[in-house]
Amino acid sequence: MSSIIVLGCMWGDEGKAKIVDFIGAEVDVVTRFQGGANAGHTIVLEGKKYVFHTVPSGILYPETQCVIGAGTVIDPLGLREEMQSLMLQGIDFTDRLFIDERAGLVLALHKQLDHKSEENLGTGKIGTTGKGIGPAYSDQAARCALRMGDLRYPEWLEQRLNNFYKYHQINLSASDYKEELESLLEVGKFLGPFMAQTDQMLRDWYKEGKKILFEGAQGTLLDLIYGTYPFVTSSHTVSGGVCVGTGFPPRWLDRILGVFKAYTTRVGAGPFPTEIEGPLADQIRHKGNEYGSTTGRPRRIGWFDAVAAQYSAALNGLDSLAITLLDVLTGLPELKICHSYIKHNQVLPGFVSHPIELNEVQPEYLTLPGWDIDISNIQTWKALPKETKQYLEAIQDLLKLPVKIVSVGQDRHQTIVIKEKV
């Protein structure tokens, strides 16, 4: 029996889904533990592109059990749409997709509140995905949220919906209220057969010897507490979030794999010490298709930040690294990796998460030679150009962790597993 967490370790969009999909061949269960439809997990399989928002990326393997854990927040109408679109693509998930009945619901009002608060904040906005994530998690903490399991009990649902609007001091017209209630009851009938108390299932599966993969969404630097607050999401994206978000005991977590892009990106506002702008950023953005899968927004681009990465590795207790989108760097004459932050001519001891401090740091870089050879079809460490190896080794040395997987293209087969090193 074994369990593995696969986490995005920077500001999200590290290509986790590709890695989850790749490892997915060896696991029996894939579980989401936090976040919601703010995620956009893209998998390309035999040239066909699939984008998942709430459904775990393991769904493409016909035998894999997929769990949407209690720590997620779910837009029930959006999830139904996502499931129906998968069905249309011939993906059958009968008896292998389970939604925890304690997951919070994202309702239409949450999305409106998300947009409104961004509008009110003006230039100080967070740059959210607009999917209602912050308001949905706030309501859970305020105990006025509806949960997945509520959809199964019409009278209780009516009472909870009433309380929800009372809490928000909104007097919904009788017809709007009726319309929303009916739509929730209807979607509840669709989702009902998939609902379960998934914590018990996960523990039982683990004891039966099944391999469980916990799939992170967003990234460590977007964690509600440990990220670059307030420019963060509203869930716990760190490895510690797995236990609360799924009811899986911490003692049973075996391995933690951290996914990093070969460079760094960020969507939305907030400090980004290694950010680059101009033609070089445009070139990387274009080649890496760095546009949000959920919102289509262009992503901000920067060099690999080993200071932030060290913080993330320590916080999550990483065992090993997966480096993605390495092929995007092909053709650049030289590459940079930030190895320390300087402030007032002093090297800082490590990462600083306060936005004021993070905006003030001066990144210090290692400069490494680039490579010209197309690496997108290379299958072994040995066959990589020496400059590519040098780049990966620099990351490895700075993080003091082994690079185990390297992704050199979107497709499942464009992945190098590093067993042997020179």
The binder of ligand IMP chosen from 16, 18, 110, 131 (CB under 6 A) = 131
Q: Binding to ligand IMP by residue 267, rule CB under 6 A?
A: yes
Q: Which is nearer to ligand IMP, 128 or 140 (CB)?
A: 128
CA distance 37 to 35: 7
Q: Which is nearer to ligand IMP, 12 or 104 (CB)?
A: 12
Q: Binding to ligand IMP by residue 39, rule CB under 6 A?
A: yes
Answer positive or negative: Cα dihedral of 15, 17, 23, 25: negative
By beta-carbon distance, which residue lies closest to ligand IMP?
A: 268
The binder of ligand IMP chosen from 76, 78, 104, 134 (CB under 6 A) = 134
Chain positions 13 to 32 lying near ligand IMP, rule: CB under 6 A, are 13
Active-site residue numbers?
13, 41
Q: Which is nearer to ligand IMP, 133 or 416 (CB)?
A: 133
CB of 56 to ligand IMP, least distance (A): 14
CA distance 261 to 248: 28
Q: Which is nearer to ligand IMP, 16 or 160 (CB)?
A: 16
Q: Which is nearer to ligand IMP, 78 or 134 (CB)?
A: 134
CB of 294 to ligand IMP, least distance (A): 6
Answer positive or negative: Cα dihedral of 127, 112, 188, 295: negative
| CB distance 321 to 312 below 8 Å | no
Beta strands in 134-291 (DSSP E): 195-196, 211-215, 255-261, 264-266, 275-276
Please choose, from the candidates 36, 78, 38, 14, the residue with its C-alpha nearest in 3D space to the C-alpha of residue 295: 38
The binder of ligand IMP chosen from 129, 220, 320, 414 (CB under 6 A) = 129
Pairing of the two strands 104-105 and 73-74: parallel
CB of 40 to ligand IMP, least distance (A): 6
CB of 61 to ligand IMP, least distance (A): 22
| CB distance 86 to 45 below 8 Å | no
Beta strands in 10-84 (DSSP E): 29-32, 41-45, 48-52, 65-68, 73-74
Chain positions 204 to 233 lying near ligand IMP, rule: CB under 6 A, are 217-218, 222, 231, 233
Q: Binding to ligand IMP by residue 271, rule CB under 6 A?
A: no
Q: Binding to ligand IMP by residue 128, rule CB under 6 A?
A: yes
Burial of 375 (0-12, 13-18, 19+ CB in 10 A): buried
Report the chain's C-alpha Rg in angstroms: 22
Please choose, from the candidates 275, 271, 274, the residue with its C-alpha nearest in 3D space to the C-alpha of residue 353: 271
| Count of residues engaged in binding ligand IMP, rule: CB under 6 A | 21
Chain positions 84 to 113 lying near ligand IMP, rule: CB under 6 A, are none
> At 305, phi and psi to the nearest 5?
-110, 95
Q: Which is nearer to ligand IMP, 68 or 392 (CB)?
A: 68
Q: Binding to ligand IMP by residue 133, rule CB under 6 A?
A: yes
Contacting positions for ligand IMP (CB under 6 A): 11-13, 38-40, 126-129, 131, 133-134, 217-218, 222, 231, 233-234, 267-268
